[in-house]
Amino acid sequence: MNRRTILLGAGAALTLPAFGARAQAVQITGAGATFPNPVYQKWAEAARAAVNIQVNYQSVGSGAGINQIRNRTVDFGATDAPLNAQQLAEGNLLQFPTVMGSLVAIVNIPGIENDQLKLTGPILADIYLGKITRWNDPRITAINAGLALPNLAIAPAYRADGSGTTFVWASYLADVSQEWKDRVGVGTSVRFPAGTGARGNEGVAGTVRQVRGAIGYVENAYAITNRLVTTQIQNKDGIFVKPEHETFMAAASAADWNVPGFAANIINTAGPKSWPIVAPTFILLPTNPTDAARSASVRRFFDWAFKEGDRLAQELEYIPLPQATKDAVRAAWNRQFGA
Amino acid sequence: MSITLSAGAVPGPRKDPEVALSLGRRRKRIDFVIRTLCVLATVVGLIFLASILTTLFYRGFEAMNLRVFTHVMAPPGSEGGLLNAIVGSLIQATLGTAIGTPIGMLVGTYLAEYARGSRLGNVVRFVSDILLSAPSILIGLFVYQILVLPFGGFSGWAGVAALAIIVIPVVVRTTEDMLTLIPNTLREAVIGLGSPKWKMIVFVCWKSAMSGIITGILLAVARVAGETAPLLFTSLGNNAWSTDLTRPMSSLPLAIYAFAGSPFEDWIALAWAGALLITLSVLILNILARTVLRRRT
Amino acid sequence: MSQAATASTPAPARTSRGAGNLGDIVFEWACRGAGVFVLLLLGAIIIELFIAGLPAFRAFGLGFIWSTDWDPVQEVFGAGVSIYGTIVTAVLSIVLAVPLAFGVAFYLTELAPVWLRRPVGTAVELLAAVPSIIYGMWGFFVIVPAFATYVQPTLIDTLGELPGVGFLFQGAPFGTGIFTASFILAIMILPFIAATMRDVFEQVPPVYKESAYGLGATTWEVMKGVVIPYTRVSVVGGIMLGLGRALGETMAVTFVIGNANRISGSLFGPGNTIASLVALEFGESETGSLKLASLLALGFILFVLSFVVLATSRYLLRSRLKA
């Protein structure tokens, strides 16, 4: 802190007025998932002022996050793909969710406006399997009676870098298509049978923006801030829903969290208003921490985030956990570490 | 040489003056076309440079402001800058150069002063030239294997080590080249005065080759300042303020790489600001290196 | 004079020479030690990458090299697609860059007015100094949109219709892909090849060129008849140097290659290279996993590839280096 003040001189005094007066903050480090990175950074920024905990979160990818928490080189790990009960026991880890996010499909078809096009899960799967290749395919036109769909090649775009976004997307496609499950499977990077990869959300969105006939998948936050053309998707009840706050919340509230490691499956949940592609993201905390005080600080940070962080999460288009789930997580902490 | 010419290109004596004349015109035309194509090739090359620079200046200046230099990275929507990345880059590039330069100078000196024509010298020269052009991502993987895995995690030191390995061959090459240029008569004169060889090398050869060696160091700094691939697996990047070399450390190229693929407009703007900063520094270092060298010659 | 000095003050001279001897020994060994260190460094890089990649070679055998499978879900890995992408993009970039580089070198040595040579030469060399991540961003934000909107649709509609070679230019105009990556690589290696060519062209003894001019040869004829035959081997060496650069380039390619683990017949199709695959997949690979071992094995293969190309380049350029 001191060195920084010296380095920055007057600049630091102007920009960080609260710093000099404050006692040394507790520092905790975490690493892992990229999907929740923006909201973790936002929470970290606010928590430093509110509860005097400085969180250093590195979004290195879920795989690397799991590595680092297994090797105990960080205080907490973060992953989009939940570990199963056996993996958790082997690693002496406690898993809990923090926040949820939703994915949307984005398209670039001349004459098609936002949320006009209707798609179903099986159609999306077959597009990404390379089996539906034209926008005027009878299966698409059949459910889009009013739309003039051109005879245009479909160009699917996907994330080239391993990412939690791909994990959620592949989970959804595997849920709605047996062929996807058998041929491709689920993971943070999978072998896409068709289409082209692009790096990051920006890469996928850029490809879709530039290429006529392209389709891609991005986090909802990204679609909103960049005004991308999204689609309706048919949910489990057979109803076409638009990607909006109401449908996301409907899906989230339908989740069953009463499973080991809180590994709730919110993909394609039942309910007339549920958006089908919503997923939670998880934190991994050692059950035998090397430093009990730091472990307590991690819990104090997320406890604060559960209490005060909902607004910040919503600003970034994430979906907060239901109150009951937050309470269940707190109960799990108390069972493991004592109150 | 002249045989090739008289047989192929230059026409021998002709009986029919009209044929000779048309042949001459044809040769001139071919010459003209090829010269035009070469000028065009150069223009195309310059257009690429101009396009890169205009894009950078246009998008970089748009995003540039004082905050970039005074604030550390922040979540999207909060006012953030690149201070930690700039400082991280400075620390790692400086230390990497500081470690790599002496080793590189010693190797270059060995090649120029001790190993001319020796087998070991030839092998070392060959190996150093291979290192000079070896893919830098492999150096990152190597350092990951020997420093990151065994020592419990990504760290600024690992990044420094990777950059130092990249610096060494650059300095080797310029040091050897510059020392080779020094006339042997100078060495003989110094030895003749009774000076030991090491003093001759340090106080005479190094001194007269200094501007060339400095050029090499500047070029090495420029090279490592823009390196991204070797840092991905070593110093990893860091969103927070940190000057602790035992922890992950931020740097401009890594910040650009992370932010350019992000979903947030302010982060992408920061990526452009960083790109402008890094390119400007690298180009200025290069031009500086050339000026240092030119002033001497 | 030195004799006189030694004669009048022998004692100090001897001590200074004694210290000099020790200094000489220390200094020489420091230099030699640094040289051996560099040698060991390269050896260590090769051995470390090989050892780290060994689990992948053990699991998949030699077939790892040509297997085109890359399925992180099933944990089946093969290097075929990325080796193919690495070689195709590198060779294609050479095909695009060499004519340009030759033009630039010819212009700088024979055609340009003397006052223009230095600034233009410097500008081309600055092109080589631009960091590769900047090429990546520029490629992604400038070249990819231009290719997707103008270049590729045009080529698909024209060349794509040709019999025989049309398949090379078909598919969706994503803007990214093998061709775009090669294009960016070509711009990146252009200055390296051009600088080497210029340097070797300048080494042609003027008397050869002058005698050819004296016989009435045009500039191009001097180039074709004198300069190129004289410098042929070094020019190929310079091209190999560029090829070596193109093989291992990471950041620029990662932004634009389209990263797909399939071999696409079309030049506009997506692919990947060893370097881009390693950069993109590394973060999602767990320590000790087969995937990480496969990535490191890919690194080893890339090292062998670059080593062969760079060693060839150096062998061909040896006459120039001696000069």
Over residues A272-319, the pLDDT tens digits come to 999 999 999 999 999 998 888 899 999 999 999 999 999 999 988 899
Is A204 an 8 Å CB contact of chain B?
A: no
Sign of the torsion angle spanned by Cα atoms A202, A204, A210, A216? negative
Report the largest interatomic distance among the alpha carbons of chain A, rounded to a whole angstrom: 68
Q: How confident is residue C3, by pLDDT bands cut at 50, 70 and 90?
A: very low
Q: Do C286 and A161 touch (CB under 8 A)?
A: no
- Give the per-residue pLDDT at C319: 67
Whether A42 and chain B come into contact, CB under 8 Å, resolves to: yes
CA torsion sign for B140, B141, B144, B150 is negative
Which among A63, A155, A184 is the nearest to C283, CB-wise? A63
Of A160, A191, A211, the CB nearest to C173: A211
Q: Looking at residue A6, what is its pLDDT?
A: 36
Band (pLDDT 50/70/90 cuts) for residue A4 is very low
pLDDT of residue A32: 87
- The alpha carbon of residue C254 is apart from the nearest alpha carbon of chain A, in Å, by 8
Q: How many CB atoms lie within 10 A of CB A84?
A: 12
DSSP annotation of A261 reads G
Average pLDDT rounded to a whole number, residues C59-80: 91
Nearest to B277, CA basis, from B2, B123, B65? B65
The minimal CB distance from A67 to the residues C148, C173, C286 is found for: C286
The better pLDDT of the pair A329, A255 is held by A329
As a whole number of angstroms, the distance between CA C143 and CA C135 comes to 10
Query: What digits encode the pLDDT tens for the residues B254-267?
Result: 999 988 877 678 88
Characterize the bridge pairing of strands A76-79 and A278-286: antiparallel
CA distance B64 to chain C (A): 17
Does the beta-carbon distance from A201 to B262 stay under 8 Å?
yes
Distance from CA of A230 to the nearest CA of C (A): 19
User: Residue A209's pLDDT is what?
Assistant: 84
- Residues A290 and A288: their CA atoms lie apart, in Å, by 6
pLDDT of residue A21: 38
Overall residue count recorded for chain C in this entry: 323
Q: What is the pLDDT of residue C312?
A: 93
At residue A15, the pLDDT reads: 38
Give tens-digit pLDDT for B42-73. Answer: 999 999 999 999 999 999 999 999 999 999 88
Note which residues in 184-203 of chain A have CB less than 8 A from chain B: 199-203
pLDDT digits (tens, 9 = 90+) for B221-242: 999 999 999 998 899 888 888 8
Query: Running DSSP on this structure, what letter comes out for residue C66?
Result: T
**C163 vs A97, A153, A192, C88, C291, CA distance in Å?**
57, 21, 30, 22, 41
Tell me the HSE value of B37 on the side-chain side, using a 13 A CA sphere: 12
pLDDT band at B297 (very low <50, low <70, confident <90, very high): low
pLDDT at A24: 66
Chain A residues with beta carbon closer than 8 angstroms to that of C73: 184-187, 190-191
Given pLDDT bands bounded at 50, 70 and 90, which one contains residue C273?
very high
Q: What percent of chain A has pLDDT over 90?
A: 53
Whole-number pLDDT of residue B262: 75
- Distance from the Cα of A204 to chain B's closest Cα (Å) equals 9
Q: Which residues in chain C touch residue A66, judged by CB atoms under 8 angstroms apart?
A: 286
Chain B neighbors of C303, CB-CB under 8 A:
134-135, 138
Q: Is the pLDDT of residue C4 over 70?
A: no
Q: Do the Cβ atoms of C107 and B39 come within 8 Å?
A: yes
* Contact at CB, A218 and B243, closer than 8 angstroms: no
Segment B23-41 mean pLDDT: 91
Cβ distance C260 to A195 less than 8 Å, yes or no, reads: yes
pLDDT value of position A243: 94
Question: Which position has the token pair 């950069």?
Answer: C279
Amino acid, res. C178: I
Interface-testing mutation among B28, B49, B198, with chain C (most C C-beta atoms within 10 A): B198
Share above pLDDT 90 across residues of chain B, in percent, rounded to a whole number: 65
How far out from the chain centre does Cα C98 lie? Answer: 13
Taking contacts as CB-CB distances below 8 angstroms, the residues of chain C near B141 are: 49, 52, 278, 295-296, 299
| Cα(C206)–Cα(C209) distance, integer angstroms | 5
Residue B42 sits at the chain C interface (C-beta within 8 Å): yes
Q: What is the mean pLDDT of residues C284-294?
A: 85
- B6 chain-C contacts, CB cut-off 8 A: 215
Name, in order, each residue with C-beta under 8 angstroms of C215's C-beta and a sequence gap of 6 or more: B2, B5, B6, B10
B127, B142, B201 member nearest C49 (Cβ): B142
Give the distance from CA A189 to its chain's centroid. Answer: 15
Q: Both tokens of residue A305?
A: 């985030």
Answer yes or no: is pLDDT of C6 > 60. Answer: no
Q: What is the pLDDT of residues A5-17, one digit of tens each?
A: 333 333 333 333 3
Whole-angstrom distance between the N-terminal and C-terminal Cα of chain C? 36
Whether residue C73 and residue A191 make contact (CB cut-off 8 A), yes or no, is: yes
> In this structure, are residues C2 and B192 in contact, taking their beta carbons and an 8 Å threshold?
yes
Instruction: State the pLDDT at residue C86.
Output: 96
In this complex, which of C74, C145, C149 lies closest to A185 when CB atoms are compared?
C74
Most B CBs within 10 Å: which of A15, A42, A222, A317, as the mutation test of the B interface?
Answer: A15
pTM: 0.88
Assess whether pLDDT exceeds 60 at residue B282: yes
Cβ separation C285–A63 shorter than 8 A: yes
C204-213 long-range CB contacts below 8 Å, 24 or more apart?
C204/C230, C204/C231, C208/B1, C211/B1, C211/B2, C212/B1, C212/B2, C212/B5
Which residues on chain B are in Cβ contact (under 8 Å) with C27? 197-198, 201-202
In angstroms, the separation between the Cα of residue C103 and the nearest Cα of chain B is 4
B119-142 pLDDT tens trace = 999 999 999 999 999 999 999 999
* Cβ-based contacts of A56 with chain B (< 8 Å): 238-240, 242
Q: How confident is the model at residue A203 (pLDDT cuts 50, 70, 90)?
A: confident
Amino acid identity at C302:
L
Q: Inter-chain contact C284–A162, Cβ cutoff 8 Å?
A: yes
- Residue C55 CA to chain centroid, in angstroms? 29
Q: Do A211 and C172 touch (CB under 8 A)?
A: yes
Band (pLDDT 50/70/90 cuts) for residue A27 is confident
**pLDDT for residue C10:** 37
Provide the pLDDT confidence category of residue B15 given band limits of 50, 70 and 90. low
pLDDT tens sequence across A61-110: 777 788 888 888 789 999 988 998 999 999 999 999 999 999 999 999 99
Beta bridge partners of A31: A58, A77
CB B168 within 8 A of CB B107: yes
CB–CB contact C221 B192 (8 Å) = no
Of the candidate ranges C57-71, C146-160, C245-259, the one whose mean pLDDT is the lowest: C146-160
**Quick one: pLDDT band at residue A119, thresholds 50, 70, 90?**
very high
- CA dist C150 → A211, C92, C140, C174 (Å): 11, 21, 15, 11
- Across A9-18, C148-157, C179-188, which has the greatest mean pLDDT? C179-188
Average pLDDT, chain C: 87
pLDDT in tens, A151-185: 988 999 998 887 888 999 999 999 999 999 999 99
**Residue of B243, B260, B265 lying closest to A225 (CB–CB):** B265
Q: Looking at the predicted structure, is the pLDDT value of residue A2 above 60? A: no
> Are the beta carbons of A203 and C177 separated by less than 8 Å?
no
- Of A160, A184, A156, the C-alpha closest to C259 is A160
Tokens 């320590």, residue located: C287
Contact B123 C39 (CB under 8 A): yes
SS3 (DSSP) at A104 = strand
- Burial class of residue C247 (count of CB atoms within 10 Å of its CB; 0-12, 13-18, 19+): buried
Checking if the pLDDT of C200 tops 80, the result is yes
How many helices (H) and strands (E) chain A has is answered by 15, 12
pLDDT computed for residue C158 by the predictor: 84
User: Which of B263, A198, A204 has its CA nearest to residue C254?
Assistant: A198
* Of B153, B239, B261, Cβ closest to residue A68: B153
Interface contact A58-B74, CB threshold 8 A:
no
Q: How much is the average pLDDT of B276-292?
A: 93
**Closest approach of chain C CAs to the CA of A115, in angstroms?**
23
Closest CA to A195 of B12, B67, C258: C258
How much is the pLDDT for C11?
A: 38
In chain A, which residues have their Cβ closer than 8 Å to the Cβ of B83?
8
Average pLDDT for residues C97-101, to the nearest whole number? 96
DSSP B249: B
